[in-house]
């Protein structure tokens, strides 16, 4: 066979593979400019769809998420090496069951002597969304439901280390949309996201609003884009336990919250301030609930695994984010498989001050509530993201909430109650502290429009 024929065959095989992959991954494009063109077309079609049709699409998406939750959980752990399949499955189910749809768009009306004025929640248009590696598919799915409910289209630039599972979610959303008779490519992404594709997305005139879910770098980048932006940034949630709490329950709740998905959630308990007079009981309760206590030299050895010292400051060793507790212990010569590693430290220990996203929880003894609140507020670093407390003293609950000013504040429950898992209220995986939307939902992704009719439709 001559060379020309061979390269013809190779090209055709590559074309077929691409066609197959495109077929498998709806909405996922090779380049950002192709993704932007496609989503722009889709948004124009979507403008003529009714709210009822939006809701039908969302219903299909919810069904597919529930069917494929475990598959995405597995893929997420496999691709990123972070988190736990069982917990990630629960996170997907939470997205399917508790992300608000179109019912969240509550129009308002004023009527009076001068007639009637209507406030409606209108779409922004095409929204550009940047998603994290810690909840990759969950964020794509949750954003998609809320943004579609608001009448928008979305272009994602997922985290490069989690783009396979994020793009699986993009494909799933498109399958749901098509099954309900919606337009093609209402939600798009790129096969290999990069900083360049992210910049192209942010600067495109097609994109009318930006949403960033991630650490401080991405939130800063989006907020300086000159466009309407929602920033959901970093946290370092403290939890306080005082001597009025149900200590056994507090211990179990903290172990469950801090070990959930290996501490990846931005809302998870990341350091604990315990009253001195109950600290021993609390630690014993945590061990009973599945934690492993390390001491002395073991803490210093673990520090060398989790953190890297740079110019006198500690930063996380990214290799270790979201790994199983047993792997950390193995590294310091301990053979055990607990949910969480706990240790006692001083306030300024990096295990307290750095947002590690690892199943390692430092416990600091405090004399009283004043000291607990002061230390917890310092450890939260003004992120105003999440904070938690176990106490039956109303003054303590109120004082801490006032001092820490976080978007989420959970009392007497695991941290995940704050996003609707075992607590009232809807869920989200984009908690917008810096820009103030709080737990985002469909209405966060809309613009208010006012329509005024003078001297009419006022019927009383």
Residues contributing to the site for ligand NAD (CB under 6 A)? 130-135, 158-160, 198, 213-215, 217-218, 221, 232-235, 266, 355, 429-431
CB of 148 to ligand NAD, least distance (A): 19
Q: Which is nearer to ligand NAD, 93 or 198 (CB)?
A: 198
- DSSP summary character for residue 67: H
CB of 156 to ligand NAD, least distance (A): 9
Instruction: Check if the beta carbon of residue 158 is closer than 8 Å to that of residue 131.
Output: yes
What is the C-alpha separation between 344 and 373, in angstroms, rounded?
18
CB of 15 to ligand NAD, least distance (A): 30
Residue 131: both structure tokens together: 């998603």
CB of 268 to ligand NAD, least distance (A): 9
Instruction: Classify 187 as helix, strand or coil.
Output: strand
Q: Which is nearer to ligand NAD, 289 or 307 (CB)?
A: 307
Instruction: Check if the beta carbon of residue 419 is closer than 8 Å to that of residue 125.
Output: no
Instruction: Check if the beta carbon of residue 363 is closer than 8 Å to that of residue 274.
Output: yes
CB of 94 to ligand NAD, least distance (A): 14
Q: Which is nearer to ligand NAD, 315 or 336 (CB)?
A: 315
**Cβ-based neighbours of 426, under 8 Å, separated by 6 or more:** 98, 99, 100, 104, 420, 439, 441
CB of 221 to ligand NAD, least distance (A): 4
- Return the residue matching tokens 């176990």: 390
Check the CA dihedral 19-24-26-28 and report its sign: negative
What is the C-alpha separation between 396 and 278, in angstroms, rounded?
16
CB of 434 to ligand NAD, least distance (A): 8
Q: Which is nearer to ligand NAD, 139 or 174 (CB)?
A: 139
Q: Which is nearer to ligand NAD, 215 or 290 (CB)?
A: 215
CA–CA distances in Å: residue 394 to residues 248, 371, 389, 424:
20, 17, 11, 20
What is the C-alpha separation between 306 and 317, in angstroms, rounded?
5
CB of 52 to ligand NAD, least distance (A): 30
What is the C-alpha separation between 455 and 450, in angstroms, rounded?
16
* C-beta nearest to ligand NAD: residue: 214
Q: Which is nearer to ligand NAD, 159 or 426 (CB)?
A: 159
Q: Which is nearer to ligand NAD, 181 or 217 (CB)?
A: 217
User: 395: how many CB neighbours lie within 10 A of its CB?
Assistant: 9
Q: Which is nearer to ligand NAD, 26 or 163 (CB)?
A: 163
Q: Which is nearer to ligand NAD, 20 or 318 (CB)?
A: 318
Taking alpha carbons only, the member of 442, 452, 453 closest to residue 147 is 442
CB of 337 to ligand NAD, least distance (A): 25
Taking alpha carbons only, the member of 281, 51, 67 closest to residue 169 is 67
């Amino acid at each position: 066979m001559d060379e020309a024929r061979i390269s013809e065959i190779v090209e055709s095989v590559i074309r077929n593979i691409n066609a197959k992959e495109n077929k498998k991954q709806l909405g996922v494009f090779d380049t950002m400019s192709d993704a932007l063109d496609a989503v722009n077309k889709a948004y124009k079609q979507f403008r003529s769809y009714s709210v009822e049709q939006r809701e039908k699409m969302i219903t299909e998406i919810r069904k597919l998420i529930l069917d494929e939750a475990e598959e995405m959980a597995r893929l997420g752990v496999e691709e990123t090496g972070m988190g736990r399949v069982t917990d990630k499955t629960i996170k997907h189910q939470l997205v399917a069951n508790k992300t608000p749809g179109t019912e969240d768009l509550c129009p308002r009306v004023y009527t009076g002597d001068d007639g009637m004025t209507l406030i409606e929640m209108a779409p922004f248009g095409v929204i550009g969304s940047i998603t994290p590696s810690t909840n990759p598919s969950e964020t794509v799915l949750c954003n998609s439901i809320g943004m579609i409910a608001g009448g928008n289209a979305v272009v994602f630039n997922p985290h490069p280390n989690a783009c396979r599972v994020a793009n699986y979610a993009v494909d799933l959303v498109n399958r749901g949309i098509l099954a309900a008779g919606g337009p093609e490519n209402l939600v798009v992404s790129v096969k290999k996201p990069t900083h360049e594709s992210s910049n192209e997305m942010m600067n495109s005139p097609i994109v009318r609003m930006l949403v960033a879910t991630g650490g401080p770098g991405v939130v800063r980048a989006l907020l300086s884009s000159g466009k309407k932006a929602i920033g959901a940034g970093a946290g370092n949630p403290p939890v306080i336990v005082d001597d009025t709490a149900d200590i056994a329950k507090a211990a179990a709740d903290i172990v469950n919250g801090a070990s959930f998905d290996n501490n990846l959630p931005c809302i998870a308990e990341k350091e604990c301030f315990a009253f001195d007079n109950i600290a021993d009981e609390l630690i014993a309760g945590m061990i009973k609930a599945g934690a492993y206590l390390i001491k002395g030299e073991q803490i210093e050895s673990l520090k060398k695994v989790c953190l890297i010292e740079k110019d006198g400051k500690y930063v996380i060793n990214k290799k270790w984010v979201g790994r199983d507790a047993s792997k950390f212990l193995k590294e310091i010569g301990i053979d055990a498989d607990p949910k969480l590693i706990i240790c006692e430290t001083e306030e300024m220990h990096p295990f307290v001050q750095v947002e590690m996203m690892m199943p390692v929880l430092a416990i600091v003894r405090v004399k009283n509530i004043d000291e607990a609140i002061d230390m917890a507020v310092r450890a939260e670093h003004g992120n105003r993201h999440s904070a938690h407390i176990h106490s039956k003293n109303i003054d303590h609950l109120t004082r801490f909430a006032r001092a820490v000013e976080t978007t989420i504040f959970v009392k007497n429950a695991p941290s995940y109650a704050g996003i609707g898992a075992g607590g009232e209220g809807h869920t989200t995986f984009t908690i917008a502290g810096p820009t103030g939307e709080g737990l985002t939902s469909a209405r966060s992704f809309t613009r208010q429009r006012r329509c005024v009719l003078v001297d009419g439709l006022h019927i009383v």
